[in-house]
Amino acid sequence: GGGGFLPPARFLMDLFDLIVESGCFGCMDQLCLRAAGVAVGCPAAPSLANIYMDNFDKTKIFSSNNPYADTIIHYYRFVDDLLWILAPGLRLEPFMLWLNDLDPHLKFTAQSDHNTISFLDVNVLNRDGKLTFAPYRKKLIVLLYSILPHAIHRIIES
């Protein structure tokens, strides 16, 4: 063949259930139990988040029950990072209240600007109603400090 092995869907569902329901993860040589959700650092976490958010998109955002459906001009998502471009004049506070009432496991925060906003590593710019894009670079503060013993400092300096 060549095609590779594709496990049955039921196997994948059982595997995801095990990952989510087990609650165990390793941290600093300790076995820990998490309170809720998928353990931080779990290799399957991004895939599970993407599946969860895809279902959220289909059943909530693009549903006929969405009272804001007509105000969505553009909607972009990367896993759990969302970028909305909404119709002018929309009041953000009621929209955010509606959004945060949709799913008890999700909480959204908003950042709003009429001209530019960062999304992932991109600046999205509104130029007279046309979207343009530019690289976004976070401001970085670099702190240098030494953990070398004083004797090694004297050797390096001489």
pLDDT of the residue at 153:
43
CA dihedral 25, 29, 31, 34 (to 10 degrees): -50
Instruction: Check: CB of residue 24 under 8 Å from CB of residue 32.
Output: yes
Model's pTM, two decimal places?
0.67
pLDDT of the residue at 66:
95
Phi, psi values for residue 130, rounded to 5°: -110, 130
Instruction: Check: CB of residue 97 under 8 Å from CB of residue 88.
Output: no
pLDDT in single tens digits along all 158 residues of the chain = 556 777 788 887 787 777 777 666 666 777 676 666 676 677 778 888 888 899 999 999 999 999 999 999 889 999 888 998 888 889 999 999 999 999 998 999 998 888 899 998 899 998 988 889 999 887 776 655 555 555 544 444 44
Q: Which residues have CB under 8 Å from 61's CB, separation 6+?
A: 72, 75
